Structures are given as C-alpha cells and as structure tokens.
Structure 1
Amino acid sequence: MSAPQIVRYGELIPCRTAFIDAHTPGSDQKENFTIIGGGVSEAADQHVHIQETPGFNIGAAGQPPKCRNSLHSHRTAEVFFVLKGRWRFFWGRHGTAGEVVLEEGDIFNIPTGIFRGFENIGTDYGMIMAILGGDDAGGGVIWAPQVIEEAEAHGLILAETGRLYDTKRGEALPEGVGPMPLLSEEELAGFPEPTTAEVVPHYVARYWDLMALADRKPARVIGADAVLRDKPGFEVDFLTRGSIPSDPYVSEAHEVLMAMRGHWRLMWEGHAQVLAPGDTALIPPGVERTLFPAMTGEASLYRVRSTADPAGPTWRG
C-alpha cells in the first residue's frame, strides 16, 4: 500500500512552452503545470510532478492579466475551478458562441467537443486548477485552424504526431513527419456552438452556492446525482468546515484533495501534513485518513474520486 503524495502550490514547476500558442502575442506569458499525470502538454520538457494517474489528470494554468489560452477542444472531460483571480471562459469556433465569468472558487465542467478558451481578466496573476478525464487525458488537444496558422507565423509547428517544434530554436519536423492537418469545414461543422444560456445553468457551479450546500454535508458537484449531473470518469465533491467527516474513513477509489480556502490537516497511519490553498494530495485506495480544518476561519476544498464511468462526452445539446 503506497502512501499519499502531496504537491505543494509553492513548489509547482511551470512550463512556458507547453502548447502551440506559446509564441503567439497575447498568449505567450502562459504557464502550464502538470500535477498528476502527463496532461495534454505538447512540449517534451514539461515537468510532471506525479506520474501515476488515478483515472484522471490534474493540472493548472497560471496567467498574468490579459493573457489568454487559445481556442481548442478535448475528447474527454475538462473541469476548471478558479483558485486565484477572475477569469472569462468563451467558446465556439471563433470564441463568440457564448461566455461566462468565473470568480474564485467557481467551477466549470466544460462540455467536451466544443472549442473553448479562457483569459485572466483580473488585476493580478491568476491560477485555475484543472481536472482532465482519462489516464491519457484524451490523447491531446484539437486546435481551431486559426490557432495553428497563427502559431506557425510565430515559429511553432505542431506535428501530426502531436509533438511541438520550435523553429526559433532551430527545430524542424523530422523526416517523414508532416504538420498537423487543419480541420476541414465539414469537420468544423461537427463542433457544437451552444449559447451561454444553454451552457451555464448545467455546467457552472458558483462557490458561494456550494458553500451553502456544503454547510452540513459534502456537496455533490459533479456526478450522476450532483449539482452538475455528469459521468466523466470521476466525481467531484465540495467540502467545508461543517461538512467534513468527523471520523477516519477509507475510500475504495483513488482520491485527490485540492485545497481551496483555509488550511487542512491530513492524517494517516501516524503521519500528518497540512494542506494550504493550491496544494494537491493524491491518496491511494485503502489508506485510512482523517481530514479536518487546521485553523479557524473559512475552509473549503474540492475532493475528486475516480469512478468506473468512461471519460466520455459531456455535451448533451
């Protein structure tokens, strides 16, 4: 039986060349973090903090104000909650089909199969934490054609293998390997263009609503019977000071704890660690653990558990 593994927020190692838009003006200051599993990074030098995957991946994106992540799509679930800052999420072929602004603690289960992007619209460096479905996170990212074309104009070429090559560093596509083909108009027509009214009520949960729901028991955020009803291969709960289990417990599934506010004391088998906001803990099945707030004041965290559901489509439009 292995022990819990903890990745500290202050020890996260960023990659600034993780994706195809790393040189594109307006997107060239992004920092990508892969916390659990390899995520969907296209860079060979991306640091992975915990290689083991519990049926899903955990990552994060850090961006200064006015920096944006370009339009892309995923085949499996992509869930974000805002750890720091204020963020605008937008979607559609050109990013104009709909949008929503998320504040700290808000969570967005972005539907699969639609193009999406996001930008930090706050006044300071912001961080969003991500949960990606599947052990291999769906096999990569599908970029809108204009993103690939603009990236090539700034020296980055995405190979058909999914690997990124930087011509500014003297890199070139290997012999026999072609560039990633652009999606055809026929293929693009298969990507939904849902409106804000169609997406937000079913895919967004607000922090203060969850705080109220989790006053006495954990709030079910994502799951078959949750606020955001879905079966993406994992389930998400929201816990507060008033809803944390008082006794030691054991989970039969892998469990990831992601502290949002306050400090949490995690105890297991004679060991104890304190989780601060932004820290991530991976706890294997069968380990008896106790979790409780370490200080007075506001305390909240997201808990993610693997399920037997396939990490499949979530868009029900």
Structure 2
Amino acid sequence: MKQPQWVRFGDLIPCRSAFIDAHTPGSDQKENFTIIGGGVSESPDQHIHIQATPGFNIGAAGQPPRCFNSLHSHNTAEVFFVLKGRWRFFWGETGEDGEVVLEEGDIFNIPTRMFRGFENIGSDYGMIMSILGGDDAGGGVIWAPHVRAAADAHGLVLGESGRLYDTEKNETLPTGESEMPLPEAQWLNALLRPDAATVVKHYVARYWDMVAISAKQPVLVIGENGLLKDKPGFTIDFLTRTSLNQQAQTAEKDVVLMVMRGHWTLAWEDESLTLNPGDTVWLPEGTDYYLDVNVSGESSLFRVTRTEDAAGLTWTGDA
C-alpha cells in the first residue's frame, strides 16, 4: 500500500522561470511551486516535490508586493486560497471585466473559460495555494494574446509541446516543433465575462464565514452541495478545531490536507506528524488516519478529496 507523503512549507523549492511571463516587467519576481503532481509549469527547471497523481495537482505562487501573474486560462478547475497576504484577482482578456480582493484564508473557485490573473497588493511577500483539476492539469496554460506578445519581446517563446524556450540563453525551438498557436477568435469570443458581483456570489468563500459555519462540523466548501457548487473532480471541505471529528477515519479516495492556521497532529499506522501552516500532506486512497489539534486557539485546514467526476469544465448546474 502507498504511504503518505508530505512537504513542509519551509522546504518548498521555488522556480523563477516556470511560465512565459518570467521576463516580463511586473511578473519577473514571482516564484512558483509544484507541490503534488506535475502542475502546468512550462519549464524543465520546476522542482516537483511529490510525484503523485491523486486526481488533481497542488501548487503555490509566492510574490513580493505589486508583482502580478499574467492573464491566462485553464481547461480544468483552478482553485486558490490565500495563505499569506492580500491579493487582487482580476479577469477578462485585458483584465478589465472585474476584480475581487481576497484576504488570508479566503478561497476562490475560478471558473474555467475565462482569463484570470492575480497580484499581491499587500505590504509583504505573499503566498497563495492552488488546486488544479486532473492528473495532467488540463494539458497546460492558455495565455492571453497580449501576454504572449510581451513574452516574445522579452525573449521567451512557447513551443507547441508546452515547453518554454529562452532566447536570451540561446535556446531555440527544436527542429520540427512550431510555436504554440494563439487562441482563435472563435475561442476568445466564447469566453465567460462575469461581473464582480456574480463571481463573488458564486465562486468566493470568505475565511471568517467558513469559520463561523464550521463551528460544530466540517463545512463542504466546493462540491455539488457545497458553499460553492461545482464538480471539478474533487471536493474541498474546511475543518476547524471545534468541528474536528476526533475519531479514526479512512481516506475512501486520495486526500490532501493543507493547513491554514494552527498546529495539527496527523497519525496513521505507527507514525505521527505535526502539521503547521503551509504544510501539505497526501494521504493515498485507503489510508486510515487520525487528526487532532495540538493547542487551543485558531486552527483550520482545507481537505481536498478526489471524486469520480470528470476534471473538465466548471460544472454548469444551478448555482
């Protein structure tokens, strides 16, 4: 049977060249982290911490103040929660369709079929954690046309294989490989263009609302019957010290625990582990485990569980 694996927040290894905007002014100081699965990095320099395929990918982005991630889209789910700092998320082909500000602990289930970007608007280095749908995370990233143009002007070219080539390092497209084609007009015209009120109502859950709702039992944040109704190939529930079921549990499907606040104890078989904010643990299907909180006070974590739902387009059922 596969054994649990974990990554400490302090052991995360960043990549500064993961994506096509790595040289673009305003984005050239961001750091990307691939925690579980291969993610959607376009660079062979990206370090993968846990080589597992639990049905979704776990990653993170760290950025100094006023650093932004350029507008892009995915074919599968992309969910973020703010671990540290204050962040502005914006969307639309030019980033002007709408925006929302997220504080620490807030979670955003970003709809597919729309360009999105994000910026650290806090005063210190910030970190957001991400969950991407599917083992292959949808096959990569679709960048807004103006992002591709800016990257080309600063020496970065994206091949049709999804690999990034840096002409400043004398890298060129291999023989037989063409540049990744730009999105066609028909695809661009079909993009979603929701306003901010719609996005906040149906796709954002606030941390302190989740804390209040989960006072006595865990709250389903993302799922068919969750606060944010969706079927992206996984569910996410939110646990606090007061809602914790202090009994042995079994991971019926692959489970990932992502600590937001506090210090937690995870035990399985004859092993135990203390978990701190920013730590991530993968529990393979069939793992019997026990969770507890070490001290009183604020404690919270997100639990991601694989489902049999296809990790495709955001569910279009009733919101």
Q: Structure 2 CA distance, aligned partners of 1:219 and 1:83? A: 19
Alignment of 1:201-212 (within 5 A): 201-212=201-212
Residue 120 of structure 2 is matched in structure 1 by 120
Is 1:91–1:117's contact at 8 Å kept on the other side of the alignment?
yes
Q: Does 1:36 align with 2:36?
A: yes
Q: Does 1:247 align with 2:250?
A: no
Q: Structure 2 CA distance, aligned partners of 1:276 and 1:89? A: 26
By how many angstroms is 1:315 displaced? 6.3
By how many angstroms is 1:38 displaced? 0.4
Alignment of 1:1-317 (within 5 A): 1-314=1-314, 316=316
Q: Secondary structure at the match of 1:168?
A: helix
What amino acid sits opposite 1:157 in the alignment?
V
Return 5+ residue gaps in structure 1 as ranges.
none
Cα pair distance change 1:152/1:315, threshold 3 Å: farther
What amino acid sits opposite 1:126 in the alignment?
G
What amino acid sits opposite 1:46 in the alignment?
Q
Q: Structure 2 CA distance, aligned partners of 1:245 and 1:255? A: 16
What amino acid sits opposite 2:45 in the alignment?
D
Q: Structure 1 CA distance, aligned partners of 2:182 and 2:256? A: 36
Q: Structure 2 CA distance, aligned partners of 1:11 and 1:239? A: 24
Q: Structure 2 CA distance, aligned partners of 1:190 and 1:100? A: 22
Q: Structure 1 CA distance, aligned partners of 2:186 and 2:16? A: 33
Q: Structure 1 CA distance, aligned partners of 2:254 and 2:137? A: 17
Is 2:142–2:183's contact at 8 Å kept on the other side of the alignment?
no
Q: Structure 2 CA distance, aligned partners of 1:9 and 1:221? A: 23
Q: Structure 1 CA distance, aligned partners of 2:163 and 2:286? A: 38
Q: Structure 2 CA distance, aligned partners of 1:87 and 1:196? A: 15
Is 2:231–2:315's contact at 8 Å kept on the other side of the alignment?
no
Is 2:65–2:125's contact at 8 Å kept on the other side of the alignment?
yes
Q: Secondary structure at the match of 1:20?
A: coil
TM-score using structure 2 length:
0.98
Relative to structure 2, which stretch is displaced further, 64-73 or 182-191? 182-191
Is 2:232–2:315's contact at 8 Å kept on the other side of the alignment?
no
Q: Structure 2 CA distance, aligned partners of 1:311 and 1:222? A: 13
Q: Secondary structure at the match of 1:132?
A: strand
TM-score using structure 1 length:
0.98
Q: Structure 1 CA distance, aligned partners of 2:315 and 2:220? A: 19
Q: State the 4+ residue runs in structure 1 displaced beyond 3 angstroms.
A: none
